[in-house]
Structure 1
């Protein structure tokens, strides 16, 4: 018989076996590795990873990732970390600090066989930014994929919190940011860190500063004390207070470049340009035009500046792909931008300091710092995005003339070699007119420019190092013009002490023309308040130019009210949005006065004012309303106070609280809690005697109340019993009527039995006994039906009974 022919031309593949649950490896010679680590000499020089006592899965992962040679920080830090030492590691940017702590994490957990969900969390790696945490996790995945059975997870913000909670209990290694891990430690019940063996802080100086101080202190409270702690950064902290916060005792300080002549890589060429603040965008545009075939990373001080420069340059089309990255973007967009910039050969990325630390972008040619960094450490981290792993790179810093001297001192103190270069005037291009034209046509772009201006001024205002950042010497009016703005936006915190006093002065004091001119001279004479000045326009017989119309134009598309606050002239009439005593101040102002109550507005205690009464004080109308239940009238001196009248809940807070009173037998009122004096207490006798009398009186009162309660209970039971008997009597009468009447004494009520039932004392069984509710009779039911039902339910015993039952059913 011929075999059956099928349609298959290839042999069927065998089915894959079901995945078995991961378990601890039995083929690992842990004792051999332990002896090798114990014999390891941390002072010896190691050149390759094969010289270290590493497990086979780690060696295979390093080989697959093409890591063969040890860097300086890796050669010293890994040996100490394998022996369980606490480490403070400091090395230049791009020197391989990530592997210096990832390899000890894998090896120490491998030797301890900390594998599986039952082992719990073994290592916690904390990073200051999401992008750096993602990068660390990717490196961990690459070197641990060749045989390690650990469960590793990434916990960062911007992702699903519930999915992370479900996976936390299975993690052995966790890479995270401070905010998200603190959320899980405080809110996720199944997250246990009692078995934690290692804590790693990457970019430790940034994590331990004021930005993350509270988060780190709270995280450390959850962690066990007997753990190994590793701290790594390009600019390491040595503060005793920081180390004490982490419970770090006797750490090994590993700094391979501390004795080096430079704090930055030798292959990095560093220069700076002295350019006025108003020419920075022109210089940046000219630089991008001359470096179209390069990979450029541009640092700005705020996210609003990043967005404005990106949108403006995108409209100008420089001929190179543009990207922008800042902290206010969604996590998916940030991941997409970092991956696109990493994969690009030529691109320009505008970014804030969110990418200044730890991120490894391949083959970055230029790092351009348009805005001066806040300190030398930030400068070192920024320029560390290029010239990584002994590659070449170039960095250029834009400095305003007022920032040059102070910043050079800070860089010299940190051993940063930097050389000044000049801009070739032939290649310098100006884009001020183009930006002005774009802002005139696009209100949204103009609004972005105004926000960028305000954010830059704020970033300078909050800087601690006033030797570098001198607000009074910055040409802010010219800087606003370089952004394409018709005038500098209004910034209240820039007015100075004299202007603040002028603003807080009563309005009636500025009614005369002399006072007004005096106020204008005061504002105009302030250094650093140039943002409030506008070009004077004669309002009589003047020609309205295009520039004037642009300046007075009201933005109807994007946040019109906020836009009006930024562009209002000082000589215009104050509107309701700029009142000191009622309205919400604009979001971007620092330390603005929300509401001010003058001393002459305070009402005297004996003032008796009727409702809706108005009076004028110093030219200012004040309205007072007497609320029922309040001792003093409500002063309506602002719109915010007027809104109180619409809220009953807020009006209750203004009313006086009532007092509870009790009345005695004679009708006199007393407080609910009334204390007697010491003399009255002594007159009643000794304390023990008063105590005895009080107990006797209370005992008698309780006994009397108990008797009354028992009598009430008896009465209640008696009433229930009488109702039950009455109901039974009525049912019996109904049954008699249905049977056509009963002769004799069969249906009569037994009076003697009722008497005995009433005379019988009540028992607990009677109290617990409750009559069951009786099912009401149907219209077709009577006692005959009951009798018939009883006979129907009897089982037939003889053949005659069966025949009778069958005939009854049939007929």
Structure 2
């Protein structure tokens, strides 16, 4: 989408100009006085207007001719129920709290008052931002902006679309020139924080479309902060398909004496369109993809919208079904796509006659997809309100539509009760087994051949279970009753991937259950004296087995309470971890000594008694038998000595203990937190080191600059010295001294006319200078010419 489409609203002829150039044919001249008079008449007509109960046409309302021309051009003639009830109220400047079923025309119900209020107030470019429309999703914001362009093209207002996905600087440059702004909460908050000069002090109208969805997305604090910065004298229009408690609370904060228009709780039974057929089927989790594939194959001539619970499920279904070629165009729409891709998918599905769109709940709010025949909910909605928004994509504007909901056996009862509370009647139907085609083998082949498909399947598996785990209504979504292994096989996976959050949840439940059992047990009874034998009593064998299992799986004393079962006739005592430690059978070599400490037998005369002084026999042996017995005992003691154990046994590791009592290896490398004494000190040391390095670099930089400056000055000084040496006779070349007489020069054999002419000129020598190489001599050039002439004459 180009910038002109995003940031201009000149889709139709412009507003009539106030002046007309001479000799130019165009729009007729409109006098300022007549225009002001028309606006005054329009204000009086709006104040005096009392809507009759049977009003149906837009032309019956007191609106400007510019808005009526735009509605006529966009083919909007008859009003819907929500428009007929809300427009007479909102045109008078009152706050409106509107609630109506999906597809009832809420967009025009707030766009027409925006244009009319600004027109009657003679709003111009210099007045700044006059109307702000907030939408929960980007696709819905684009749809609102397109409708605004279609009906407001004859007005001279400037309109902007701020939805993210574009360069922030481009939007910032245009933001100050906008009179009407359509925005998503996140991008609007970003501009309020970062854009200088973005002011809403002169705002006249605020529109919140799909307010419940805005609050569900976590923008409650953002909206509260936004409302606190907006002027109190504004007009506010709040529209939503469902009225939840959060919407009512928001209306209490943002609206002043609002007029409630639309569906009340008592009238909620008629909130669903009468032309909508609603059904649901019950199947197991591993059969969902088979039902979806069979449904698509049997409805190739329809336009279908398929809802799933997560982005990764949408991508997996789209990629696999595209490779299987169902015979109908497939599209995908989810929040992980880029902005331009989402807008392109939205436009393509809008213009297509037969197609299947896999989407998450971002397509469930307010989007107007023309002529959608089926809404197929593969995964159960989060609540009844989400169900209403999903099925609202079909049966719009009195058209017919069908909706099919797929439920698991564990979800049926809870979802039916939730829908009954909203007065929604959904009929149960059965699927013909003969018409269902299994695609499990095809998915297995795709996962085996393409690693990316296998990876997508694993991510879809985990994301679905996570979505079920995070749903609030546990009466509907029961994770423990899902056939996880069969579900993984139905996705074509060789086995179920590991689920970290599920294992953590199970461990947490076990811990809570053990604590609950310990808290609910009766008061401790007097303890029975321990038996002399080191073996526990017979009725405690189950406890030992339970402890043994817990020690093997590493859960310790956090084992399940079902394992710790004791006879009800015996008095129950709360057992501690020390009791369990002493009663375990799989102890190490010190277990016998601990048992002797607890169950000591005074009659025992074992020679391995622990911490017991025995009387030694110091008499010498009398015969060889005693010698042999003594030697054998001595050899046994030597075999158990420290030297023998150290020589043949395993080597230990040396450990040292710090001041806190923690064990470390002697040459263990310390972490940066231990060296500096904490994460905060690590960051401080990092910053200090960076500052020291910066200071060193600055000093080195100053020194380098000084050295470079000195070198440059020295070079300049040498050049000037050379120039001064060569400037003796005004030239740039220095004169050289004459050569000696015995330098090898032989004078020619001829007579000179006079004695004064015997002086021989010194030979020339080339030296380099800035001007190039020159010949230097002690005599002038004229002297050389005279000498050459004399030589010629003498010859």
Seen in structure 2, the aligned counterparts of structure 1 residues 257 and 59 have a Cα distance that, compared at 3 Å, is farther
The answer for the alignment partner of 2:230 in structure 1 is 223
Please show how residues 433-582 of structure 1 align to structure 2 within 5 Å.
Answer: 433-495=441-503, 499=507
Output aligned runs, 1:260-299, within 5 Å: 261-299=269-307
Aligned residue number for residue 681 of structure 2:
653
Alignment correspondent of 1:357: 365
**5+ residue gaps, structure 2:** 1-21, 515-543, 563-650, 686-719, 731-795
Q: Is the 8 A contact 1:270 1:418 kept in 2?
A: yes
- Structure 1 counterpart of 2:429, from 414, 421, 426: 421
Contact between 2:276 and 2:403, CA under 8 Å: does it hold in 1? yes
Shift of 1:433: 1.3
Alpha carbons of structure 1 residues 39 and 655: separation in structure 2 relative to 1, 3 Å: closer
Q: Distance in 2 between matches of 1:265 and 1:95?
A: 9
Q: Distance in 2 between matches of 1:438 and 1:526?
A: 44
1:158-199 deviation per Cα after TM superposition (whole angstroms, max 9, x unaligned): 111101100011100000000001111121111111100100
The equivalent of 1:314 in structure 2 is 322
Q: Contact between 2:285 and 2:483, CA under 8 Å: does it hold in 1?
A: yes
Asked if 2 retains the 8 angstrom alpha-carbon contact of 1:204 and 1:236, the reply is no
Report whether the alignment pairs 1:71 with 2:99: no
Secondary structure (helix, strand or coil) at the match of 1:495 reads helix
Q: For the residues of structure 2 that align with 1:781 and 1:26, how far apart are their CA atoms?
A: 92
SS class of match (2:172): helix
Q: Indicate how the Cα distance of structure 1 residues 26 and 329 shifts in structure 2: closer, same or farther if over 3 A, else same.
A: farther
Measured against aligned partners, the alpha-carbon deviations of 1:506-547 in whole angstroms (never above 9, x if no partner) come to xxx99x9966766799999999xxxxxxxxxxxxxxxxxxxx
Q: CA deviation at 1:16?
A: 9.0
Question: What secondary structure, in the 3-state scheme, does the structure 2 residue paired with 1:360 have?
Answer: coil
Are 2:222 and 1:197 aligned?
A: no
The answer as to whether partners of 1:121 and 1:195 remain within 8 angstroms in 2 is: yes
2:216 counterpart of 1:209: yes
Residues 624, 389 of structure 1: alpha-carbon distance in 2 compared, 3 angstrom cutoff:
farther
Q: Is the 8 A contact 1:495 1:523 kept in 2?
A: no
- Correspondence for 1:142 among 150, 164, 168: 150
Q: May I ask how many residue pairs the two structures share in their alignment?
A: 547
Q: What is the alpha-carbon distance in structure 1 between the residues aligned to residue 654 and residue 202 of structure 2?
A: 67
Offset of residue 475 of structure 1: 1.3
Query: 1:330 maps to what in 2?
Result: 338
Task: Provide the residue aligned with 2:132 in structure 1.
Answer: 124
The equivalent position to 2:262 in structure 1, one of 255, 258, 264, is: 255
Distance 1:214 1:121, change over 3 A: same
Alignment partners' CA distance in 2, 1:235 and 1:138: 24
Specify the alignment match of 2:124 in structure 1: 115
Structure 1 length-normalised TM: 0.62
Give yes or no for contact 2:215–2:246 (8 Å, CA) kept in 1: no
Partner of 1:409: 417
Aligned pair in 2 of structure 1 residues 495, 193: CA closer, same or farther (>3 Å)? same
Corresponding residue number in structure 1 for 2:70? 61
Instruction: Give the equivalent residue in structure 1 for 2:16.
Output: none
Specify the structure having the higher radius of gyration (Cα).
2
2-side partners of 1:194 and 1:341: how far apart? 40
Call closer, same or farther: CA 1:654–1:232 in 2, change over 3 Å: closer
Structure 1 residues 182 and 289: alpha-carbon distance in aligned structure 2, compared to 1, 3 A threshold: same
- Equivalent-residue separation in structure 2 for 1:87 and 1:345 (angstroms): 37
Work out whether residues 122 and 172 of structure 1, in 8 Å CA contact, stay in contact via their aligned partners in 2.
yes
TM-score (norm: length of structure 2): 0.63
Q: Which residue of 2 aligns with 1:738?
A: none
For 2:216 and 2:205, how far apart are their aligned partners in 1? Answer: 21
Separation (CA, whole Å) in 1 of partners of 2:54 and 2:411: 44
Quick one: distance in 1 between partners of 2:105 and 2:238?
14
Q: Secondary structure at the match of 2:40?
A: helix
Specify the SS of the correspondent of 1:207.
Answer: helix
Q: How far apart in 1 are the matches of 2:508 and 2:442?
A: 36
Q: Within the alignment, does 1:171 sit opposite 2:178 as a pair?
A: yes
Partner in structure 1 of residue 712 of structure 2: none
| Cα deviation, residue 262, structure 1 | 2.9
Contact 1:90/1:234 (8 A) holds in 2: yes
Please say if residues 495 and 526 of structure 1, whose CA atoms lie closer than 8 Å, have aligned partners that are also in contact. Answer: no
Instruction: Answer yes or no: is the 8 Å Cα contact 2:511–2:559 preserved in 1.
Output: no
Cα distance change, pair 79–502 in 1 and its aligned pair in 2 (3 A): closer
Aligned partners of 1:88 and 1:236 also within 8 Å: no
Kindly state the Cα deviation for residue 643 of structure 1 after the two structures are TM-superposed. Answer: 5.0
CA distance in 1, matches of 2:132, 2:337: 26
Alignment partners' CA distance in 2, 1:120 and 1:88: 26
Q: Using a 3 Å threshold, how does the CA distance of structure 1 residues 340 and 632 change in structure 2: closer, same or farther?
A: same
Give the secondary structure class of the aligned counterpart of 2:118.
helix
Aligned match of 1:185: 192
